[in-house]
A and B are shown apart, each in its own frame.
Chain A
C-alpha cells in the first residue's frame, strides 16, 4: 500500500481520531501515516452494530410482551449474554436466566439489583427502566 492509497474514508470514528497505518512513500520506504478509516471496515463495523441493535430490539419486544424483565434490555444493550453477565455480576448462569423473568425480577432485593446496576454503570432506578423504542445506540 502506498501513501496515496491509504484510505481516508471516515466512517464511525469521531472526526478527531485517526488510525496509524503502514504505507510506502515515494522512495519505497515504509512510513507511518494517518488514516481516517476504510469503507470495508466501516461496513463490517456497521454490520456488527446492526446485530447488536437487533438483539436489543428483540429484548425490548420481549419486555413489552411481558415475557422478559428489563434486565434483558440492559444485557443486550451492553452486548452481553447470560454467560458473560453472570461472570460480571458474580451470579450463576441459571440465576441470571431466572432474573430475566419479569415476575422474579420484580421481587429482587436491593443488593441483587445493585450488583447488576454496578456492572452496567447505571443506577438501580435506571436498571428498572427501559425505553419504549430502540434508540440509536451510536
Chain B
C-alpha cells in the first residue's frame, strides 16, 4: 500500500520530518519554521559522549526535541513508541501503514542501503518517514534526499535497532490529532524564548554560548594536549558535526536565520529581520572556522591558521550569538 504523502527535500532530517508530517495533516509550515518553533538552535560540547572515541559537538537540540516541541506548541497530538522486540516494532509499523498513517522512525544511518557509501557512518540520530509498503520493500520519505527511496524490511529493521551511543531502540512516532485552527504567532514567540533561554542560561560550562567559549579554550590546548594527529581527528569530527549532511551549512545558523525572517512576517516585527541578518553573518563566521579547520586537516595551514586563530573565531561566534539571543529576548520578552 502507498499513502499519498508529499515528500519535500529538506536540509535536516528531524525538522524535515516534522514539517512534512505536519504538512500531510494540512498544517503548511516550512522546515525552517518547524526548526525555529521547535527551538532547534543549540550548542553543546559533550566530551563525555563519544563517537569513535571522539567527543560529540552538537549544533542542534536533543534528538526528538524539535518534533516534540513543535507539535506541543501547535497543539498537535502525537504518539511515541519504543520497542524491545524488533519484530513487534515492524508489525506495529505495518499496522499503522495499513490504517493510512505515515510513521516517522528514528534510525541508524549506517544500515540504510540508499545512503551513499561515503556517508555510511554509525550515526544513530537519523529520522525518516515511512509512507508505504510494497512486498518487503518500505517506501520511505527521507527528507535529506531529493526523491523518496525504498528500503528492504531487513535493512530497516537493522536501522531501527542500531546500537551504540543514542541507540534508537525502534522508536517510531506519528500524529494522532490536529487542531482545527493553528495560531503560529504564540508558538513562534515561545520557540524563540526557549531557544534563547537555553543558549544563554543553561547552567554549566558546556551548553549554549558558554559552551562555544569552553570549546574555544579546549581547541587552543588540543595540539599540546593530544598531539598533532589526535588534535586533527578531533577537529575533523567537529567540522563534520557542523557541516555534515543535514545542517544546512554553518551549523544550522542559516536555517535559524531563515526562520527569523519568516517569524518577522508572522509577528510583524522588523527587528527580527535585522537579527536574521546578524545570524546569517554568524553562520558565515562558522563557515570560516570550517575552512581554516579543513586547511589544518590537510596540512595546508598557513601561519594565521593556528588553533589559536580558530579559537578566536569561535569566541567571536560566541560574542555575536550572545548579542543576538539577548536582543531576541528583548523583542519577544
* Residues in chain A within 8 A of chain B (CB atoms): 1, 11-14, 17-24, 28-30, 32, 35, 38-41, 43-45, 47-49, 51, 79-80, 84, 87-88, 121, 137-138
Contacts and interface: CB of A to CB of B under 8 A. Distances in A.
A1 B11 CA distance: 15
A43 B297 contact: yes
Nearest to B11: A20
B116 A32 contact: no
Interface residues of B, number: 50
Interface stretch (B90-98, B196-204, B255-263): B255-263
B116 A40 contact: no
Query: Closest 4 interchain pairs by CB?
Result: A12-B118, A40-B294, A30-B258, A87-B163
B interface: dominant SS? helix
A49 B122 CA distance: 13
Interface in B251-273: 254-255, 257-258, 261-262
A119 to B, nearest CB: 9
Nearest to A47: B236
Nearest to A22: B254
Given A1-B249, A12-B118, A21-B254, A40 B293 contact: yes
A49 B298 contact: no
Nearest to B287: A1
Given A1-B280, A47-B232, A84-B163, A30 B9 contact: no
Contacts of B290: 40-41, 44
Interface stretch (B72-80, B171-179, B211-219, B239-247): B239-247
B164 interface: yes
Contacts of B248: 20-22
Contact of A14 (B32, B116, B121, B276): B116
